[in-house]
Amino acid sequence: MTKFVKNIADFITAVFSNPNVSEFLFWGFYADGNPKAIIYNRDWSLAPMGEAFYGLVHKKWKTELTSKTTHTGTLQARGFYGTYEYSYKQGSKTVIGTFELKKEGSKKIKIK
C-alpha cells in the first residue's frame, strides 16, 4: 500500500467514523475526473482512491460471521449496513437466504 493510498484510507476511515455518515458518493470516478478522487484509471484498473475504498469496504470492513445460535435460536451480532447472505442447517437441508441491515430499519432480524 502506497503512502498516498494509506492517507486516503485514513481519511475515508475518519469520515466514516462519524455516526451521521452511512455511505459515500463519488463524482468523477473515472480517469477524466479529479485525479485525487478517481476510482478507475483509463484502463479500468483501480486508481489510488479506488484501491483505498475497495480495500476498506471489501476487506477490512466486510462483516463475516460464523456462529451458533443459542438454545432458543437467537444470535446477537453487529454489522455494517447492507445486504447479507446467510445459511444454516436444518436437519440434512441447508437453508440459504438474504436480509438487509438499514440505517432506519429494525435492529432485529427474524429468519423463519
Give domain status of residue 49, yes or no. yes
Give domain status of residue 108, yes or no. no
Give the CA diameter of the chain. 56
Tell me which long-range contacts 101-109 makes (C-beta under 8 A, separation of at least 24).
103/22
Q: Taking the model in full, what pTM does it have?
A: 0.66
Query: In sequence order, what are the residues at sequence separation of 6 or more whose Cβ sits closer than 8 angstroms to the Cβ of residue 58?
Result: none
Cell digits for 5? 493510498
Give domain status of residue 31, yes or no. yes
Mean pLDDT of all residues in 23-37? 74
How many distinct structural domains can be found in the chain?
1
Return the half-sphere exposure (C-beta side, CA atoms, 13 A cut-off) of residue 85: 3
Q: What is the predicted pLDDT for the residue at 8?
A: 86
Give domain status of residue 43, yes or no. yes
Q: What is the predicted pLDDT for the residue at 3?
A: 78
Q: What is the predicted pLDDT for the residue at 14?
A: 93
Q: What is the predicted pLDDT for the residue at 1?
A: 62
pLDDT tens digits, 55-109: 998 899 888 888 888 888 888 888 888 889 999 888 999 999 999 888 787 778 8
Structural domain including 43 reads: 3-60
Q: What is the predicted pLDDT for the residue at 13?
A: 93
